[in-house]
Amino acid sequence: MLSVTGLTKSFPSAGGEVTALHDVSFSASDGEMVSIVGPSGSGKSTLLSLLGLLDRPTSGSIMVGNQDVSGLSAAARADYRCRTVGFVFQSYQLIGNLSALENVMLPMEYAKVPKAARQARASELLEHVGITGDMQDRRPGRLSGGEQQRVAVARALSNDPSLILADEPTGNLDKKTGAKIIELLKGAAITFGTTVLLVTHDTATAKAASRSLTLEDGALVS
């Protein structure tokens, strides 16, 4: 269960302050996929970076389960980013000199999973997202965009996160390939009970979610 209350984020700027997010409150259940839509600059990525503890809110709280994660120490924030949350980005963000398998193993290495176990789980997750056989040993440069995004989804799932934050995960993909990625994310919500927050500006993609939140000028309007 994710529960966000009064989340506000201001950035200093030349003319004073820019409020990227203003008093945002909502919750999302385990196993629920919620889409976040809104015009460019409305605060979607800012919201995800706060939820991923990549940045700190100006005010407000973020509860994951029954823990208020907005008040964690630096070490606990790093641990949260590694174990509790999985990220999927528009541009895949895989590590270019590691194989698909090694990319998926990496977060488990940070989480101190023994090598044999992380190798087995990475291979299993890659199979699950349709990356099979020798494709698992290829570097990202030798995989298509859709294949790379599948690897990114497997990586996001590696430490069995409570929350997946996906920022325009289909933005660089054709319609059909994008739909497959959304299916995988929705499947993860249903199968593993992960809460998935999906930022998209594509209405068809947004409809795959059980619910849609709309941001305008940093505020939730629906």
Q: Which residues contact Mg ion by CB under 5 A?
A: 44-45
Q: Which of ligand ATP, Mg ion, none does residue 146 bind (CB under 5 to 8 Å by kind)? A: none
Sheet holding 59-64, edge to edge: 16-28, 2-13, 59-64, 67-68
> Of residues 44, 118, 150, 155, which one binds ligand ATP by CB under 6 A?
44
H or E element that contains 119: helix 115-128
What's the CA gap between 20 and 110, in Å, rounded?
Answer: 32
Q: Is 11 in the site for ligand ATP (CB under 6 A)?
A: yes
Residue 40 interface partner, choices Mg ion, ligand ATP, none, CB cut-off 5-8 Å depending on type? ligand ATP
SS3 call for 213? strand
Q: 3-class DSSP state for residue 132?
A: coil
Contact between residue 182 and residue 196 where contact means Cβ atoms under 8 Å apart: no
- Partner interacting with residue 18 (select from ligand ATP, Mg ion, none; CB below 5-8 Å by kind): ligand ATP
> From CA 194, how far away is CA 112, in angstroms rounded?
21
Does 46 bind ligand ATP (CB under 6 A)? Our answer is yes
Q: Nearer to Mg ion by C-beta: 129 or 163?
A: 163
Q: Which of ligand ATP, Mg ion, none does 159 bind, CB closer than 5 to 8 A by kind?
A: none
171 contacts ligand ATP (rule: CB under 6 A) = no
Structure tokens at 7: 């989340």
Q: Which residues pair with 115 in a beta bridge?
A: none
* Residue 78 near ligand ATP by CB under 6 A: no
Residues in the site for ligand ATP, rule: CB under 6 A? 11, 18, 20, 38, 40-46
